[in-house]
Structure 1
Amino acid sequence: MLSGIKVVEFEGLGPGPFAAMMLADLGAEVIVIQRPGPANPTMGEHNMLDRGKRAVVLDLKLPKGFAAARALVNDADALIEGLRPGVMERLGLGPEAFAHTNPKLVYGRMTGWGQDGPRAHTAGHDYNYIATSGALWYASTPGDVPLTPPTIVGDIGGGALYLVAGILAGILNATRTGQGTVVDAAIVDGSAHMMALFMAMAGGGNVSKTRGRSLLDGPPWGRVYPCADGAYLSVQCLEPQFYAIFLDQMGLSDDPDFADQYDRAQWPNQTARLAEIFSGQPVSHWAALFAGTDACVAPVLDPWSAKDDPHMAARAVWSEGQGVLQPAPAPRFGGIAPQPASIPERGADTETVLQDLETRGLL
């Protein structure tokens, strides 16, 4: 889909590299500029987030490395960086440095707090950003500590995916107008924006400031239950027709305690009863009971188990490649099989990329 689009990524951690990987998955030519020296040890020998990219090691403090970086950016449609505000400017590689040499450049900036504001220059991580934005508040059942899957809500959802959307919008605008732009993708902005669907329900009285009292964060038919074998089962039969199927499968259709789905006063008792029932059988029992129904019930799987789930296996969502378990590119497009690209060795393309710049007279 993005064949012919060139992206230069300055090596970082988390959402920036993920955004660049997603653009590579979609067909863009992505060159990641890596620092001299070993890779960050947290990412392992093969960094999945580098799949489909060309890897170039440059020392930006040396004239040759700096010149090569400038040449690559001047030849690109978009740039991705995830450093603190002002760092790229101090390196001489901020947006102003390319205003005349590459006016169509879409300059993608990935930060937690944004390019301005009181916290712009302070450190933070996923939980801090989504805690401040409001996105973490409803992320638990009543009385429990708010907790979300690591990196997904903030780094990826509120950060990387918004950066991808911003870069694509910027490229479309640059194609139309000939003018590039700076994309300020802040995790606090994106994760707050992701609350729009949830907050839209406030108009119907279905969002409360008290956790466990909103339509999607506390009902007995919208949570996860432990089973007899220590595994977990997710239940979220929000609509009445699905709730009716759920009760029928559970043998509770005629139970007066479950007659009113939306009676918040009944939720604690309903939750306790369902918890007791689900704890009496292993998750395999419940999976078999609800299989093929519209009750909106599913076991909670780890990624390695998800790979072998019949539905996930049929769509080839997870695969083993170069010693790591990795998800297939998404979204999918008609007639194109979503196959993960290979992961390059660190600096593997340095020589060929620099040679190409010299051949074309760009360096």
Structure 2
Amino acid sequence: MAGPLHGIRIIEIAGLGPGPFAAMMLADHGAEVIRVERKGMPLDKGDPLLRSRIVVHHDLKSPEGQAAIRELVRDADGLIEGFRPGVMERLGLGPDVLLADNPNLIYGRMTGWGQSGFYAPRAGHDINYIAVSGALHMIGRKDEAPVVPLNLVGDFGGGGMMLAFGMVSALLAVKSGAKGQLVDCAMTDGSALLTAMMWGFRAKGFWQDERESNLLDGAAPFYDTYRTADGLYMAVGAIEPQFYAAFLTGLDLAGDPLFDNQMDPSGWPAQKARIAEVFASRNRDDWCAVFDTVDACVTPVLSMRDAPKATHNQNRATFITVDGVEQPAPAPRYSGTPTPTPVPPALREG
């Protein structure tokens, strides 16, 4: 069980968030990832983002540490770093230097703003990157402030996962005869890319640039969440007519003329109020008993405590425990090169 990236070696210059997430994905899928930490940094074996790594300590500001990094990179397929633009160059470890040492190297750079542009020299966090990309504006209730979607959209979806994809793409190019290259991954670019479908809808006149005014942003009564009698929630995604019909049947609202025109937004507020009233009349488990075996696209909203216990997630082993720490399992799944079982990071001297 070596994984599809078995034989690939990546050097990860230690950072936070999206860079480690990209390295975690590569390690999950079989790459050997050597994480370079600053001297004196303790090893956090319980951090899922650091799983399946070899960890070494070097002082990047010292000539000895810089020489050690260059030596590691000479035999590597890729490198990941997440410093602000220019930092690696000042350390003598920029792409010109390392690509000269190893012409086939894929040099992955993970930043919020990218290596160029107005904000490139500035600090920022996920919320800033997705604000500027337009993604944050789309999320939330009408006439209220945008809702912060944790740091999933910028750091992980538009950042770490995008960098992992870019690294693998560039590695494939090397396998096909290309030379090594720089991968400039910016969370502004990546989070903007995640909204591509909405830009397509907008071009066709199907998307309004106002929160909770569209099919998928909470405006539609058949695509939203509803509170149950016990203070929990159900998620509804009954878009297609057959699922919508099954949804109304499950709520005992089939035949109610209020719901005759599913796609007419003028009726959505009244429909939503009625649906909310019905959901509030029973506990979440009661509604699960109604909808779990019906194709109505209705599911419970599960907490971190409950998600690993869900039957579907247990069927697929969606969550695993590594060294006593519960966490998501590697994804996706492969039929011929299954991913190795994640293990805690291990310290290597030198």
1:6 pairs with 2:9? yes
Distance 2:7 2:99 in 1: 22
Distance 1:144 1:288 in 2: 34
Unaligned runs of 5+ in 2: none
Deviations along 1:214-238, one digit per CA (max 9) or x if unpaired, are 1211111111111111111111111
Aligned length: 346
Residue 46 (structure 1) shift:
2.1
1:19 pairs with 2:22? yes
Residue 91 (structure 1) shift:
0.4
Deviations along 1:120-139, one digit per CA (max 9) or x if unpaired, are 11111111111111111221
Letter in 1 for 2:293: G
Distance 1:172 1:328 in 2: 25
Distance 1:239 1:270 in 2: 17
Normalising by structure 1, report the TM-score: 0.91
Distance 1:324 1:221 in 2: 37
Confirm or deny: 8 A CA contact 1:328 1:338 kept in the other structure. no
Q: Which residue of 1 is the match for residue 249 of structure 2?
A: 248
Distance 1:143 1:229 in 2: 28
Unaligned runs of 5+ in 1: 352-363
Q: Which residue of 2 is the match for residue 349 of structure 1?
A: 348
Distance 1:60 1:304 in 2: 40
Deviations along 1:98-138, one digit per CA (max 9) or x if unpaired, are 23221111110000011111111111111111111111122
Q: Which residue of 2 is the match for residue 278 of structure 1?
A: 279
1:91 pairs with 2:101? no
Residue 201 (structure 1) shift:
2.1
Distance 1:78 1:139 in 2: 35
Q: Which residue of 2 is the match for residue 111 of structure 1?
A: 111
Q: Which residue of 1 is the match for residue 239 of structure 2?
A: 238
Residue 263 (structure 1) shift:
0.7
Distance 2:339 2:328 in 1: 10
Q: Which runs of 4+ in 1 moved over 3 A?
A: 335-340
Distance 1:35 1:272 in 2: 56
Structure 1 residues 99, 344: closer, same or farther in 2, change over 3 A?
A: closer
Spell out the pairing of 1:120-159 with structure 2 (5 A cutoff): 120-159=120-159
- Aligned-residue RMSD, C-alpha: 1.6
1:189 pairs with 2:192? no
Confirm or deny: 8 A CA contact 2:106 2:180 kept in the other structure. yes
Q: Which residue of 1 is the match for residue 293 of structure 2?
A: 292
Distance 1:148 1:293 in 2: 32
Identity of aligned residues (%): 47
SS in 2 for 1:242: helix
Q: Which residue of 2 is the match for residue 160 of structure 1?
A: 160
Spell out the pairing of 1:77-88 with structure 2 (5 A cutoff): 77-88=77-88
Q: Which residue of 2 is the match for residue 327 of structure 1?
A: 328
Confirm or deny: 8 A CA contact 1:103 1:178 kept in the other structure. no
Residue 143 (structure 1) shift:
3.4
Distance 2:256 2:143 in 1: 27
SS in 2 for 1:304: coil
Letter in 2 for 1:102: N
Residue 336 (structure 1) shift:
5.2
Confirm or deny: 8 A CA contact 1:327 1:340 kept in the other structure. no
Confirm or deny: 8 A CA contact 2:224 2:235 kept in the other structure. yes
Distance 1:144 1:277 in 2: 25
Confirm or deny: 8 A CA contact 1:328 1:339 kept in the other structure. no
Residue 338 (structure 1) shift:
4.9
Distance 2:45 2:176 in 1: 41
Distance 2:340 2:229 in 1: 38
Confirm or deny: 8 A CA contact 2:251 2:278 kept in the other structure. no
Letter in 2 for 1:283: R
